[in-house]
Structure 1
Amino acid sequence: MMKYTTEDIQKRVDQYISQFKEGYFSPLALQARLTEEVGEMAREINHRYGEKKKKSSEGEKALEEEMGDVIFVLTCFANSLDIDLSQAFESSMSKIETRDKNRWTRKDGENIK
């Protein structure tokens, strides 16, 4: 199985989208698509782990596929706004690692001060 960096993902999505005259959708349209894809992922999670079971007429969808769809649309969003996903992730992790460093019970039993 191939492993991708965020840079690889962004380049591959851009190569795909660049084939078409339409290009990337507007930010508002991408937000709507992202919401739709996250909803489909939520529906699959609810069917698998929640109380709402699928109708007999509904086919099986892979959770992995739904997550992949979310990544694709999120990458389109980032590319369309010229946002580097690696930098966005680093910024988010730095914030979380600082803000939440003592929020949860650590497995090693130590609290970072």
Structure 2
Amino acid sequence: MSNSFTTVQMQERVDRYISQFKEGYFSPLSMMARMSEEVGELAREVNHHYGEKPKKGSEDDKSLEEELGDVLFVLSSFANSLDIDLSEAFDRSMTKIETRDKNRWTRKSERGKENE
């Protein structure tokens, strides 16, 4: 199995996993709490790696990759529970950002051209 998945494939894989259990998906409020928890764990790892707070010797060594994967799992679960296609949501968001913010920051100069 390839380690490269589309958002559709990720959502389908999550759905296959969740669908085997009677409990199914959590409620939207529980999903939001779970997402907040996972993002908090990611923030903690970023702080340990790049911030001023080193880990205690007794703390498990979790990777940023593992924490990002947990966020993706919960995000996919959340989207599935609300019947949202993450590919479509991402496309709408990027279109909005590319339009709204197209002149917001200083662009890198093109080859051979100076910054204007």
TM class by shorter chain equals over 0.9
SS in 2 for 1:47: helix
Mapped partners of 1:52, 1:2: distance in 2: 32
Cα deviation 1:30-67 (Å, max 9, x = unaligned)? 00000000000000000000001111111211100000
Runs of 5+ unmatched residues, structure 2: none
Query: 5+ residue gaps in structure 1?
Result: none
Which residue of structure 1 aligns with residue 27 of structure 2? 26
**AA matched with 2:53:** K
Q: Could you say what secondary structure the match of 1:30 adopts?
A: helix
Q: Output the CA distance in 1 between the equivalents of 2:100 and 2:109.
A: 19
User: How far apart in 2 are the matches of 1:2 and 1:47?
Assistant: 27
Q: Which amino acid aligns with 1:74?
A: L
Separation of aligned partners in 1, 2:109 and 2:102: 13
Match of 2:102 in 1: 101
1:92 maps to 93
Alignment correspondent of 2:16: 15
Q: How many residues in Structure 1 have an aligned counterpart in Structure 2?
A: 110
What TM-score does the superposition give when structure 1 sets the normalisation length? 0.94
Sequence identity of aligned pairs in percent?
70
Deviation (angstroms), 1:108: 2.8
